[in-house]
Amino acid sequence: MKGIITMFKILTDSACDLDKEYVVKHDVDVIPLYITTDGQNYLRDGEELYSRDLYKRMVEENIFPKSSLPSVQDYVDHMMPYVEKGLPVICITISTSLSGSYNSAQTARDLVLEEHPDAVITVMNSTTNTVTQGLFVNEAVRMKEAGLTYEKTVENLEKLKESTRIFFTIGSLDYLIKNGRIGKLALLISSRIKIKPTIIMKDNEIGLGGVSRTRAKSLTSVIEAARKYFNEPGHNVKDYNFIIGWGYDLEEAAQFKKEIGDALGVTFCEDIGSQIGAVTVCHTGPYALGLGCIRKYETV
């Protein structure tokens, strides 16, 4: 396939937590990860198991679900129909530090290219997850719908990676201890103290932004971490899109959204979905709450 490409297909995995209405409206193909609540039966995220049901069970039954990546064949099955139609593909995955989804997609790409050597497929590590991965996909959608070429869209997405941020807190360390890919949080968690961490995800890694003794103080710490970032040179809130990621408590999320919106002077993307989905909640527990952001592609 040669020349300038203006028509292409966007794929992503279900860690993006995009609303069903959004993916239908914008023609995004979502490859489900898998969730198990018993260690034996794995259900397709968003198809056989839904976030609202998982949250309810986690809160009421105190279960500890686990997630698993899509298989190579899952990715082949999603890529092949578009390749056979001659459509180039951009496949955006959850951070490689959190899942092997990228590796599955990359292997699938290689298999598809063996059969269709002229196919154009880019597999991209978003370096983030959950609602900020959704923002990343949304930038790809905005570029596609604005008429940018495939090549320019891929180029801009690579530049956008370094701008992705998630500032959040969780209700309990228990889920990270059991399931989380915790990286730099290991020392904190090994102490097993009863604290509420402020966690920052950037540059494909999860790091500790601070600790608090209460939920209220941890949410204030999230706001302050975001404020500090946007007080740094080159980080103008007007250049970014924002989203609140929330878990089980919608009322708390609405109040937090108002507080952080007022503190930073920002408005939020409202149409892509903001409830943290089943894949991430396996690791954070049901009471994760925070802010995600990414640069608008027009500013890179």
Kindly report the pTM of this predicted structure.
0.95
**Residue 132 is encoded by which pair of tokens?**
């900020």
Which CATH architecture is the domain 165-295 placed in? 2-Layer Sandwich (3.30)
Report the pLDDT value the prediction gives residue 196, as an integer from 0 to 100.
Answer: 86
Domain parsing of the chain, residue ranges: 9-162, 165-295
Q: Is the dihedral of CA 20, 23, 24, 28 positive or negative?
A: negative
pLDDT at 4 over 90: no
Report the pLDDT value the prediction gives residue 189, as an integer from 0 to 100.
Answer: 56
**Residue 218 is encoded by which pair of tokens?**
């941890």
Of 188, 148, 149, the C-alpha closest to 170 is 188
Q: What is the pLDDT of residues 204-217, one digit of tens each?
A: 998 888 889 899 99
Q: What is the pLDDT of residues 87-112, one digit of tens each?
A: 999 999 999 999 999 999 999 999 99
Q: Where are the alpha helices (DSSP H) in 168-271?
A: 174-179, 186-191, 215-231, 250-264
- Which CATH entry fits the domain spanning 9-162: 3.40.50.10170, 3.40.640.10, 3.30.360.10, 1.10.760.10? 3.40.50.10170
Report the pLDDT value the prediction gives residue 184, as an integer from 0 to 100.
Answer: 55
Q: What is the pLDDT of residues 10-57, one digit of tens each?
A: 999 999 999 999 999 999 999 999 999 998 999 999 999 999 999 999
285 exposed, middle or buried (CB, 10 Å; 0-12, 13-18, 19+)? buried
**Spatial distance between the Cα atoms of 81 and 235, rounded to a whole number of angstroms:** 40
Domains 9-162 and 165-295 belong to one CATH topology: no
**Residue 11 is encoded by which pair of tokens?**
């794929």
DSSP 70: P
> Residue 11 contacts by C-beta under 8 Å, 6 or more apart in sequence?
28, 29, 30, 31, 78, 79, 89, 90, 91, 92
Report the pLDDT value the prediction gives residue 228, as an integer from 0 to 100.
Answer: 96
Report the pLDDT value the prediction gives residue 172, as an integer from 0 to 100.
Answer: 83
